[in-house]
Amino acid sequence: MKRKSMDILGGSIADKLLIFALPLAFTGMLQQLFNAADVAVVGRFVGKDAMAAVGSNGPVIGLLVNGFMGLALGANVVISRFTGQQNDEGVSRCVHTSVLFSLLGGVALTLIGEAFAPAILRATSVPADVLPMATAYLRVYLVGLPVIFLYNFESAIFRSQGDTRTPLLCLVASGLINVALNLVFVCGAGMAAEGVALATVISNLASSALLFAALCRRDDRVRIEPRKIRIHKDSLSKIFVIGLPAGLQSMVFSLSNICVQSAVNSLGTDVMAASSAAFNIEILAYYLVNSFGQACTTFVGQNYGAGNIKRCRRVVRISLALDVGITLAVSLVILPFGRPLLSVFNRDAAIAAIGMVRLRFILAAEAVNAVMEIMSGAMRGYGSSLTPALITFAGVCGIRVAWVYTVFRAAPRFDALMLVYPVSWVVTAVALVIAYAVYMHKMVDREPVKL
């Protein structure tokens, strides 16, 4: 815990981006693999109805979690900027504010979610035969929101200092707990979807507790001292300025995915199960995409705080090259193994065939998504979070919702529905590249904004 944070302000860039991004990507991948274990366990030991019940909750949970993940990203940016300015007091106030805010926010969303859980799932067209099990899963999962949010904010604190290894190690420990408890609750206790949800809650409690202990033991500016935990209004407002648009941007993806999931649900249980299985595979590539976007945000944030605009520009160029190149390579590796991977979740050949449709559409265009992440991440690092959020709202949410009610309604097939992903990504990526170019043109001779 006493090892030094990464020097983001000087030296080489590419190797540090890799050192930062790869553990972050592995963290997301492991998290998803453990989530995939939920689907695989119920798919194998309960049945495809339980598998569909767990999968149908994905977009709803994403909507709840992603909004707070955006706010956690805001904390990352603010702490990174304070770090670049050598403002230790500002860092400390933001760290302690983040911890308490994550817990309070989690409790609030738990109460709201529990009150409206059945209505939310009915709104996404979850079939009647799956609805009771899907509701049971969601209700248990919602109880764990406070510790899930705490883990995300704690991870953001570590990322702001260039440390993505510690959250990864904590996740490995909690993930093993998750897998073991899945088997205990489902195979041993005879539980269904609610069993894997309970395992997820307990494992997230473990990961957030481990990170909290690690932060309490650090000997630098981000150390947590329990007596200092309180909400500092100035720190919270700074987090909201950057984090709220980022959270809304993440929620836009989730809202559009809920709309798409509703269309998927209308195609029947087999399509629901296949889409759920394919999502748990394709998301592995996305975590690589997202990790470099977050790395770009952190590196730009610290260097912009230090006033080094030239280095910020280099960070963006190198991040983009690494993200696109690695994403293309990983997508090409995953695709040939799509059917064997899908069979891990369910051995039904029809489900594997449907799942491959989704994998081909998503993975073929994932590199375009990388461009979106880097452009958004760079602008957030500079402190401009609203522009990418608005562009994403129009380009992603607008196109996907319109697509479901026009193209899909005219041709209600799974392949017609999946085409919306590459189309919305291309349009949004082009718009973000233009917005970034305009922003950087205005950046000439501009003084870095002090927090």
User: Mean pLDDT throughout 341-352?
Assistant: 83
Task: Evaluate if residue 308 carries a pLDDT over 60.
Answer: yes
Dihedral sign computed on CA atoms, order 377, 378, 380, 381: positive
For residue 417, which amino acid is it? L
pLDDT at 449: 54
Q: Tell me the mean pLDDT in the region 238-247.
A: 85
More confidently predicted of 46 and 435: 435
Its pTM stands at 0.77
Contacts of 133 (CB under 8 A, 6+ apart): 49, 50, 53, 192, 193, 194
Assess contact for 258 and 125: CB atoms under 8 A: no
Q: Is the pLDDT of residue 36 over 80?
A: no
Instruction: Classify burial at 65, counting beta carbons within 10 Å of its beta carbon; exposed 0-12, middle 13-18, buried 19 or more.
Output: buried
Share of the chain above pLDDT 70, in %: 96
- pLDDT greater than 90 at residue 322: yes
In this prediction, residue 362 has a pLDDT band, given cuts at 50, 70 and 90, of very high
CA distance 74 to 68: 10
Q: Label residues 40-54 b or e (16+ Cβ within 10 Å = b).
A: bbbbbebbbbbbbbb
Comparing 278 with 250, the larger pLDDT belongs to 278
Whether the pLDDT of residue 16 is over 60: the answer is yes
Nearest to 193 by CA among 243, 126, 125: 126
Mean residue pLDDT across the chain: 87
**For position 1, what pLDDT does the model report?**
42
Mean pLDDT of 420-439: 95
Region 211-228: what's the mean pLDDT?
93
Among the residue ranges 24-28, 156-160, 388-392, the one predicted with the least confidence is: 24-28
Q: What is the pLDDT of residue 54?
A: 78
Question: Average pLDDT for residues 13-36, to the nearest whole number?
Answer: 84
Task: Tell the burial category of 398 from Cβ atoms under 10 Å away from its Cβ (0-12, 13-18, 19+).
Answer: middle
Spell out the domain ranges in the chain. 14-442
